[in-house]
């Protein structure tokens, strides 16, 4: 096993950070391949909680090379804040590398994100307001500024001048969102920040990664967000602006698809979503509130309460297909203890018909009603279980049903936030 991709199978927040951290100790390299500081990974080590947004969770192991890949969008201020806070807590960070091809988030991206979200006609997506979407727009519109460009003041000035002109006009005149950017100040600020982390920047991140592939090193490609937030395969337009799916690793890190050996799908035992958009198995109030409190379901990035619902087998099947999942990591099963019954959605009812293929058109999706199976709960506390055979019978039945719907085998089951709270099956 050389290249493993780890992805979220739902709307993000499945607990990928903990699984990445767990796998990281056996890896030589971890590559983050898309997204930016819209993501939030919480890793608990002993009594310390670490919240990471950009830096891959593997950074806690000094021997693991951690790469922020070309497909990521980087807010340098957030990157520096993370670097400095980890350094203060004793991590040298000599193992971090940042691709010169990664795109840079500027204040006008954040302003555009906020302005768009305020304009009703644009349709509120409920973004994290970090400027992610507008930065990817510039990338694909070929006026983005990349990390490597920050070291070339002349080029930076030229690119910034055009961007500032365009964005100021758009914000001031179309969005009624008054802005006034000072190009000299921006150049000074971004150059200063770049100088603080430029020793970590690699010009050819794809060469670095492919060299590791050729040497049969163990590499973990870490996707942020989740399949249902994928710009192509999620609940468009209520999605993020990148490709969190396994295929995104090929473009976001620069490897060939045939190099991928395993795809681990991280599955939360129930489902959550932050922001707007369809969520067929959402539970409003009652049990939804109970799951939120018990599972501490508040956004790691924005602190927003997450919407909660039952496990959705249709979403799962969609994720299995799109990502080519070979193994499952099921998280937060402990949160479901003490429930009398647990519902599992196995199909949708759409205009009188039963369907199991996820409708990616949100108007068709809005007409879908989940069809549930009822499973008996269990009362036991699972937080100290380390062997599969020690799980209550009903927990095993529930997990086996999830695996059946996912058409993949379970490799890991997480029973708590701590590193040691894990059951390994493979």
The residues that touch ligand IMP, with contacts defined as CB under 6 A, are 11-13, 38-40, 125-128, 130, 132-133, 224-225, 229, 238, 240-241, 274-275
Please tell me whether 42 is known to bind a ligand: yes
Please tell me whether 364 is known to bind a ligand: no
* Residue in 322, 315, 318, 323 with CA at minimum distance from that of residue 221: 323
**280 Cβ partners below 8 Å, 6+ apart?**
309, 312, 314, 315, 345, 348, 365, 368, 369, 370
- Residue number with the smallest Cβ distance to ligand IMP: 275
Catalytic residue set: 13, 41, 139
Q: How far is the CB of 7 from ligand IMP (least distance, A)?
A: 12
Q: Which is nearer to ligand IMP, 251 or 302 (CB)?
A: 302
Q: How far is the CB of 340 from ligand IMP (least distance, A)?
A: 29
Q: Which is nearer to ligand IMP, 148 or 277 (CB)?
A: 277
Q: Which is nearer to ligand IMP, 35 or 313 (CB)?
A: 35
Q: How far is the CB of 109 from ligand IMP (least distance, A)?
A: 10
Q: How far is the CB of 321 from ligand IMP (least distance, A)?
A: 21
* Residue in 197, 241, 215 with CA at minimum distance from that of residue 68: 197
**336 Cβ partners below 8 Å, 6+ apart?**
269, 270, 342, 377, 398
Please tell me whether 386 is known to bind a ligand: no
Q: Which is nearer to ligand IMP, 236 or 372 (CB)?
A: 236
Q: How far is the CB of 342 from ligand IMP (least distance, A)?
A: 23
Q: Which is nearer to ligand IMP, 62 or 237 (CB)?
A: 237
Estimate the crossing angle of helix 183-197 against helix 76-88, to 10 degrees: 40
Q: Which is nearer to ligand IMP, 191 or 302 (CB)?
A: 302
Please tell me whether 357 is known to bind a ligand: no
Please tell me whether 252 is known to bind a ligand: no
Please tell me whether 240 is known to bind a ligand: yes
SS3 helix, strand, coil % of the chain, rounded to 5? Answer: 40, 25, 40
406 near 320, Cβ under 8 Å?
A: yes
247 near 40, Cβ under 8 Å?
A: no
Q: How far is the CB of 424 from ligand IMP (least distance, A)?
A: 26
52 near 82, Cβ under 8 Å?
A: yes
* CA-based end-to-end distance of the chain: 13
Please tell me whether 307 is known to bind a ligand: no
Distance CA 359, CA 365 (A): 6
Distance CA 118, CA 120 (A): 6
Measured CA distances, 28 to 46, 203, 210, 326 (Å): 23, 20, 13, 21
Q: How far is the CB of 18 from ligand IMP (least distance, A)?
A: 14
**359 Cβ partners below 8 Å, 6+ apart?**
348, 350, 365, 368
Place of tokens 């099956």: 425
Please tell me whether 305 is known to bind a ligand: yes
Residue 161: how many CA atoms within 13 Å on its side-chain side? 6
Q: Which is nearer to ligand IMP, 12 or 370 (CB)?
A: 12
> Which residues make up each annotated binding site?
12-18, 38-42, 128, 142, 225, 240, 300-306, 332-334, 414-416
Residue numbers belonging to the annotated binding site for substrate: 300-306
Q: Which residues participate in the annotated binding site for IMP?
A: 13-16, 38-41, 128, 142, 225, 240, 304
Binding residues for GTP: 12-18, 40-42, 306, 332-334, 414-416
């Amino acid at each position: 096993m050389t290249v493993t991709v780890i992805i979220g199978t739902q709307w993000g927040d499945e607990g990928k950070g903990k699984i990445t951290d767990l796998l990281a100790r056996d890896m030589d390299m971890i590559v983050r391949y898309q997204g930016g500081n819209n993501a939030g990974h919480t890793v608990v080590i002993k009594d310390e909680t670490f919240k990471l947004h950009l830096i891959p969770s593997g950074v806690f192991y000094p021997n693991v090379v951690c790469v922020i890949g070309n497909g990521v969008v980087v807010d340098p201020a957030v990157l520096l804040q993370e670097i400095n806070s980890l350094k203060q807590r004793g991590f040298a960070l000599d193992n971090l590398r940042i691709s010169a091809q990664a795109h840079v988030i500027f204040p006008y991206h954040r302003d555009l994100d906020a302005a768009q979200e305020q304009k009703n006609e644009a349709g509120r997506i409920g973004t994290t307001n970090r400027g992610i979407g507008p930065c990817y727009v510039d990338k694909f519109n070929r006026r983005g500024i990349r990390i490597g460009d920050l070291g070339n003041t002349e080029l930076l000035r030229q690119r910034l001048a055009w961007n500032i002109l365009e964005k100021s006009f758009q914000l001031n005149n179309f969005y009624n969102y008054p802005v006034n950017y000072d190009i000299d100040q921006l150049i000074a600020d971004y150059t200063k920040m770049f100088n603080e982390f430029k020793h970590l920047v690699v010009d050819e991140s794809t060469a670095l990664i492919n060299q590791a592939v050729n040497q049969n090193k163990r590499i973990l490609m870490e996707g942020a967000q989740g399949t249902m937030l994928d710009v192509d395969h999620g609940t468009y337009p209520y999605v993020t602006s990148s490709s969190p799916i396994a295929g995104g690793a090929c473009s976001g890190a620069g490897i060939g698809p045939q190099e991928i050996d395993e795809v681990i799908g991280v599955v939360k035992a129930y489902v959550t979503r932050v922001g707007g958009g369809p969520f067929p198995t959402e539970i409003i109030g009652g049990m939804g509130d109970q799951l939120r409190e018990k599972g501490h379901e508040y956004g790691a990035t924005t602190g927003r309460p997450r919407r909660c619902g039952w496990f959705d087998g249709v979403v799962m099947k969609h994720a299995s297909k799109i990502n080519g999942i070979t193994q499952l990591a099921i998280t937060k099963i402990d949160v479901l203890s003490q429930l009398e019954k647990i519902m599992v959605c196995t199909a949708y009812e759409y205009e009188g018909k039963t369907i199991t293929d996820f409708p990616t058109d949100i108007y068709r999706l809005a007409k879908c009603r989940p069809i549930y199976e009822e499973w008996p709960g269990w009362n036991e506390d699972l937080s100290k279980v380390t062997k599969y055979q020690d799980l209550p019978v009903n927990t095993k039945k529930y997990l086996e049903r999830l695996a059946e719907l996912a058409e993949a085998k379970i490799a890991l089951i997480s029973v708590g936030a701590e590193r040691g709270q894990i059951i390994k099956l493979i």
